[in-house]
């Protein structure tokens, strides 16, 4: 079996175009477009690239977008002050603080300061708690993007064994909760898991979210499995996923490419969350 492609790039484009259309018609009514503020602290080149992609996507969708670049030497209090200012800003519906923050900064303190109703990254404990409780709230863009991609391609989740490799608060843990909500049986593996292959080979749907290029090879994957690659690592000038695409595509039924899979979905879901915050705030 040669796997079919879960084309995140194509789907993300469609979602972004739909959002642009909706934002244009509502902007006329509200008197302003949806607004996102992104805070980037320090000079991390990967973070700079991610944030500029998000900023550009907002502009292309006709959203108001503020990119706030702060020096790594800024104090924690100054960052908190900036977040509080954005919490009050009338033109801003969504706030994202690009992670990781420079060493020595208290990430939790910063994330907890973002107003939950503007927390379009879904990282505030209130939104994480709502996800745990099965209540409506903002869901982090990457796991939300994985769910949407599978749904749009008609991949059934109920009753399936989903194996997630990676237990981050940004991807692995929220994705496990979303999969449970969708009636999957969920296994979460991580860096201390013994005999990883024994688990991954049982997966009907295998999600790799570790950040180790080529970790998952064909012998980790059951014939006909659906394989979702969330990992991104720079290898030389290339972006590589956690999945060895060329070997795994020979046995999987569906597979996401890197680039062009989950990455573009993350950006589309961030825009969707910002749009939803705008709709809620303006009671549309």
Task: Rank residues 141 and 188 by Cβ distance to ligand GUN and give the closer one.
Answer: 141
Find the radius of gyration of the CA atoms of the chain: 19
DSSP 69: E
Apex 222 CA angle, 217 and 226, nearest 5? 85
103 burial class (0-12, 13-18, 19+ CB within 10 angstroms)?
Answer: exposed
Task: Rank residues 131 and 248 by Cβ distance to ligand GUN and give the closer one.
Answer: 131
Task: Rank residues 98 and 113 by Cβ distance to ligand GUN and give the closer one.
Answer: 98
Q: Can you tell me which of 15, 61, 97, 228 binds ligand GUN, judged by CB under 6 A?
A: 97
Using the rule CB under 6 A, is 98 a contact of ligand GUN?
A: yes
Q: Can you tell me which of 121, 204, 229, 272 binds ligand GUN, judged by CB under 6 A?
A: 121
151 is known as an active-site residue: no
- Binding segment toward ligand GUN, per CB under 6 A, in 15-23, 56-64, 97-105, 230-238: 97-105
Find the shortest distance in angstroms from Cβ 54 to ligand GUN. Answer: 8
Whether 175 and 207 have beta carbons less than 8 Å apart is answered as yes
Task: Rank residues 42 and 254 by Cβ distance to ligand GUN and give the closer one.
Answer: 42
- The Cα 19–Cα 1 span in angstroms is 36
Find the shortest distance in angstroms from Cβ 83 to ligand GUN. Answer: 12
- Binding segment toward ligand GUN, per CB under 6 A, in 80-88, 93-101, 224-232, 246-254: 93-101
Task: Rank residues 141 and 277 by Cβ distance to ligand GUN and give the closer one.
Answer: 141
Find the shortest distance in angstroms from Cβ 164 to ligand GUN. Answer: 16
Find the shortest distance in angstroms from Cβ 12 to ligand GUN. Answer: 14
Whether 216 and 200 have beta carbons less than 8 Å apart is answered as yes
Whether 36 and 64 have beta carbons less than 8 Å apart is answered as yes
At 254, list the tokens: 């569906």
DSSP states of 72-137: TT--HHHHHHHHHHHHH-TT-SEEEE-SSPPTTS-HHHHHHHS-GGG-TT--SHHHHHHHHHT---
- The Cα 180–Cα 157 span in angstroms is 9
76 is known as an active-site residue: no
- Binding segment toward ligand GUN, per CB under 6 A, in 92-100, 101-109, 144-152, 215-223: 92-100
DSSP 216: B
**Residues between 217 and 276 with contacts to ligand GUN, criterion CB under 6 A:** 266
Q: How many residues bind ligand GUN (CB under 6 A)?
A: 9
Using the rule CB under 6 A, is 99 a contact of ligand GUN?
A: yes
Where along the sequence are the contacts to ligand GUN (CB under 6 A)? Answer: 96-99, 121, 141-142, 170, 266
Active site residues: 54, 98, 121
């Amino acid at each position: 079996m040669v796997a079919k492609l879960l084309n995140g790039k194509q789907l993300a484009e469609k979602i972004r175009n739909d959002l642009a259309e909706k934002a244009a018609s509502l902007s006329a009514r509200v008197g302003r477009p949806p607004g996102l503020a992104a805070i980037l602290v320090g000079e991390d080149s990967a973070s700079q690239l991610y944030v500029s992609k998000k900023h550009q996507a907002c502009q292309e969708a006709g959203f108001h977008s503020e990119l706030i670049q702060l020096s790594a030497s800024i104090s924690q209090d100054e960052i908190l002050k900036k977040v509080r200012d954005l919490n009050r800003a009338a033109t801003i519906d969504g706030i994202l603080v690009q992670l990781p923050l420079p060493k020595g900064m208290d990430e939790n303190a910063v994330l907890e300061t973002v107003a939950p109703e503007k927390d379009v990254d879904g990282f505030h404990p209130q939104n994480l708690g709502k996800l745990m409780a099965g209540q409506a709230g903002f869901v982090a863009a990457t796991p939300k993007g994985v769910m949407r991609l599978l749904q749009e391609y008609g991949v059934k989740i109920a009753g399936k064994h989903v194996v997630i490799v990676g237990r981050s608060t940004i991807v692995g843990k929220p994705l496990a909760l979303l999969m449970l909500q969708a009636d999957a049986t969920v296994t979460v593996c991580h860096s201390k898991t013994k005999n990883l292959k024994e688990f991954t080979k049982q997966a009907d749907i295998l999600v790799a979210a570790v950040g180790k290029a080529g970790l998952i090879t064909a012998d980790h994957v059951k014939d006909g499995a659906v394989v979702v690659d969330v990992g991104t690592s720079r290898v030389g000038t290339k972006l590589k996923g956690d999945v060895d695409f060329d070997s795994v595509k020979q046995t999987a039924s569906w597979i996401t490419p890197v680039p062009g899979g989950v990455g573009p979905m993350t950006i589309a879901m961030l825009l969707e969350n910002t749009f939803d915050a705008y709709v809620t705030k303006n009671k549309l």
